[in-house]
Structure 1
Amino acid sequence: MKLTRKTGLRSLAVGAIAVSSALVLTACGSDNNSGSSSPSGGSSNAAASIKCGSKANLLASGSTAQKNAMDVWVKNYMQACSGSQINYKPTGSGAGVTEFLQGSTAFAGSDSALKPDEVTKSKSVCKNGGQGIDLPMVGGPIAVGYNLPGVDNLVLDAPTLAKIFDSKIAKWDDPAIKKLNPSAKLPSSSIQAFHRSDESGTTDNFTKYLKGAAASDWSYSGGKAWQAKNGQSAPQSSGVAAQVKQTAGAIGYFELSYATASNIPTVKIDTGASAPVAASSDAASKMIADAKVVGTGNDMALKLNYATKADGAYPLTLVTYEIACDKGNKPETLDATKAFLNYVASDDGQKGLSGQGYAPLPTEIATKVRSTISSLS
């Protein structure tokens, strides 16, 4: 089935609007988020609909952004499938992909699609002519949090953010910031810009946005590792959020749940639309609705339009993928991998995301994902 931007992805906006407006992309695990809710969704109805695979000790790792969703999925699956063991380690997208390419996990969670060289490396792990493929599962916004007492409703645009995180704008009362916030009482204090110290899909998506929407002001190639000079760093989204929370004049990027949990104000982004856009699940859904499927074959990597000017579309948005072999999976874990991922992509699996702050997959994409999972060998 061929997916198009108009038919396959636009339905996400409709599906996500039905989700509570309080929904925000959550993350925890090693990235502990005290504001996250405990796993839920382990209802008897969900358990009854799960088709169990063979009993196996299934190891997986990667994205911290999907950890709360994984808590729900793992809890429900293991309750329904007695004897099955699923261990998902929230090591971060970079570490998760590395472990998958080393053959030590059945699948990986990543906030970035596989790069060409990673696809090539996967061919040595995926036997019988197979390779790693990207299966989108969840999406949501990346917030830019700040600590600037007395300043509410801060508005920034892509060029200004690029210059801030590249240390080219160093003071809060810089003319570029003043122009976007004419009524704000901006201090003359220094900007303390924080980025991730570890390899991160959040960093990859943040820098993709800067490169996609402000190419003339962001000269770096991007990736999971931070490339710009200067600035300050902290490990994991929890570390960046903590530094922003406690440091006057700070600014940093992390999943929206961290801002919500710690009461950190977030930047509204001027995209050129009729009004600046705040980070929210609905606004992220409108962004994803403008995406294109660019993967070939069974790969479902998406390309987001970071320069979007669509009203209400929040451009700093990520999609988390499960990465698995299309062919040549390990025989001892293949059946369990297919059964678990089929549940994850099922209607019940996606409905379980609502209380955890994620936007469920649109129907057409979920159908394609389930078909691809069923074909894994």
Structure 2
Amino acid sequence: MKISRIAQVGAVAAVAALALAGCASNETSPGGTAPSASEGPALTGTLNGSGATSQQVAVSAWTQLFQTANPDVTVNYDPQGSGTGRESFQSGAVQFAGSDRAFKIEEIEAGPFDACVEGSDLVEIPAYVSPIAIAFNVEGVDALNLDPDTIAGIFAGTITNWNDPAIAATNSGVTLPDLAIAPVHRSDKSGTTANFTDYLAQTASSVWTYGAVEEWPIQGGEAAQGTSGVVDAIKGGNGTIGYADHSQTGDLSVVSVQVGSEWNAPSAEGAAVALDASPLEEGRAPTDLAFEIDRTTEESGAYPVMLVSYLIGCVEYADADAAALVKGFFTTAVSEEGQQSAAENAGSAPISADLAAQSQAAIDEIK
């Protein structure tokens, strides 16, 4: 299945205007956006989630919209990383998870999912699409072009100095210092790590032989907790390089990666093109919209070092009140207003109109 290209800015603005008009005429819609299958009286209660640090800013934006429309609702989101979020959701400690990867099919089959009715399918919604920046801090160097093998060599520890010939070969005219490379990676179980290593595994498998993994697989380099920890570690050193959600890398210099004959810097637009070139995984429930990202695409403008971060819940909850809150919050997240708010605050790419419709159809099944 191929998802249509991300909606153009003008279309997004037009639909967002309609959504706001709908909000004015129906203030009891749970997400404060256009009326949907989840419309009804304003909600009450507390909704707890945990997971990816990458989508933390977006979750905050969605929370503000959701709580504005439902002032008696409190949303708590603990950004402890994708792995912790999924574990907390499985144990029933939270009602939803944010994760930079979907549950694997074998994980779903094994269970358990204590917040769900036994045998319930999962809802996995690709609500947050964002580039992963390969950010660096090398005095006197503002930008670099790196091909996949060179990026893989740096993080695998086989390229150890900034004036290595492999780096010089793609950066004519750049004065590279005789300086040791200090790679920075996540210390926690991380969906960002899973997406970054998936890029390395798909594009440079002869150099990066460790596969796509959530926990950093090799010794060496500096380990840092969470996205903010990685960014702080890069900023705090000279010769450092690491990977993090682009929305949180600030003014750090970033790598442009090779895509076909192009050198593409991280951008929301490039992440959207890469998503558009990727199919949904087969063999999943209709409510489980997990993507199989094609990191090898040569589509013009694509930036394949990217993540799709999911909102994850139950189709059928053991607690009907929790189901209503999750349904309303997820509806807010995928609405035009919610996606635009995330784009403005977190720099993410709004999901396409087709994908938003698919997502809403899945959310409508929550009960």
CA distance in 2, matches of 1:253, 1:343: 29
Q: How many residues align?
A: 346
1:320 matched to 2:314? The reply is no
Does structure 1 conserve the Cα–Cα contact (< 8 Å) formed by 2:42 and 2:69?
no
List per-residue Cα deviations over 1:31-69 (Å, max 9, x = no partner): xxxxxxxxxx9x975983533564222111111111112
Alignment-derived partner of residue 11 in structure 1: 5
The equivalent position to 2:154 in structure 1, one of 164, 169, 172, is 164
Q: Map Cα deviations across residues 192-225 of structure 1 (whole Å, 9 max, x no partner).
A: 1110111111111100100011111111132221
Contact 2:80 2:226 in 1 (8 A): no
1:31 corresponds to: none
From 212, 215, 220, the counterpart of 2:202: 212
Which residues in structure 2 correspond to 1:289-308 (within 5 Å)?
A: 289-295=276-282, 296-297=284-285, 298-308=287-297
Does residue 114 (structure 1) correspond to residue 108 (structure 2)? The answer is no
Relative distance call for 1:258 and 1:350 in structure 2 (3 A) is closer
Q: Answer with 298-307 or 354-363: which moved more.
A: 354-363
- The Cα offsets for residues 109-146 of structure 1, whole Å up to 9 and x where unpaired, read as 10111123431343442324113342110101010111
**Partner of residue 78, structure 2:** 89
Instruction: State the SS of the aligned residue for 2:253.
Output: coil
Task: Output the CA distance in 2 between the equivalents of 1:307 and 1:269.
Answer: 12
Inter-partner Cα distance in structure 1 for 2:260 and 2:270: 15
Among 65, 68, 75, the alignment partner of 1:79 is 68
Assess, with a 3 A threshold, how the Cα gap between structure 1 residues 121 and 107 changes in structure 2: closer, same or farther: farther
Q: Distance in 1 between matches of 2:218 and 2:56?
A: 28
What is the distance in 1 between the residues matched to 2:188 and 2:81? 8
1:1-377 aligned at under 5 Å gives the runs: 4-5=1-2, 8=3, 10-12=4-6, 14-15=7-8, 45=24, 48=27, 49=29, 50=32, 51=39, 54-125=43-114, 126-259=116-249, 261=250, 263-273=251-261, 275-295=262-282, 296-297=284-285, 298-356=287-345, 357-377=347-367
What is the distance in 1 between the residues matched to 2:9 and 2:295?
A: 20
Q: Within 2, Cα distance between the matches of 1:193 and 1:137?
A: 30
CA contact (8 A) 1:171 1:191 kept: yes
- Distance in structure 2 (CA, Å) of the matches to 1:247 and 1:219: 28
Partner residue, 1:24: none
Q: Deviations over 1:203-262 (max 9, x none)?
A: 111001000111111111322211122121111111111121121111111111233x2x
Q: 8 Å contact 2:189–2:214 — kept in the other structure?
A: yes
CA contact (8 A) 1:47 1:76 kept: no
Stretches of structure 2 that go unaligned for 5 or more consecutive residues are 14-19, 33-38
Whole-angstrom CA distance in 1 between matches of 2:177 and 2:245 = 26
Gap regions ≥5 residues in structure 1? 21-40
Whole-angstrom distance in 2 between the partners of 1:18 and 1:285: 15
Hey, what's the Cα distance between the residues in 1 that align with 2:112 and 2:91? 11
* Letter of the structure 1 residue corresponding to residue 121 of structure 2: Q
Displacement of 1:191: 0.6
Q: Which amino acid aligns with 1:72?
A: A
Q: Residue type of the partner of 1:307?
A: T
Q: Which runs of 4+ in 1 moved over 4 A?
A: 16-20, 43-47
CA RMSD of aligned residues (A): 2.3
Please tell me whether the aligned partners of residues 112 and 321 of structure 1 are also in contact (alpha carbons under 8 angstroms): yes
Return closer, same or farther for 1:258/1:71 CA change in 2, 3 Å cut-off: closer
Question: 1:29 corresponds to which residue?
Answer: none
Q: Give the letter aligned to residue 57 of structure 1.
A: T
Structure 2 Cα separation of the partners of residues 256 and 18 of structure 1: 25
Q: Deviations over 1:60-99 (max 9, x none)?
A: 1111111112112112211211322221111211110010
1:234/1:373 CA distance change after superposition, 3 Å: same
Asked whether the 8 Å contact 1:154–1:268 carries over to 2, the reply is yes
Partner of 2:36: none
With the length of structure 2 as denominator, give the TM-score of the two structures.
0.88
In 2, Cα distance between equivalents of 1:233 and 1:19: 39
Greater CA drift, 51-60 or 146-155: 51-60
Whole-Å separation in 2 of the counterparts to 1:168 and 1:215: 14
Distance 1:16 1:268, change over 3 A: farther
Q: Distance in 1 between matches of 2:278 and 2:312?
A: 19
Change (3 A) 1:109 1:73: same
Corresponding residue SS for 1:286 = helix
Determine the C-alpha separation between the residues in 2 that align with 1:348 and 1:283. 21
Q: Secondary structure at the match of 1:359?
A: coil
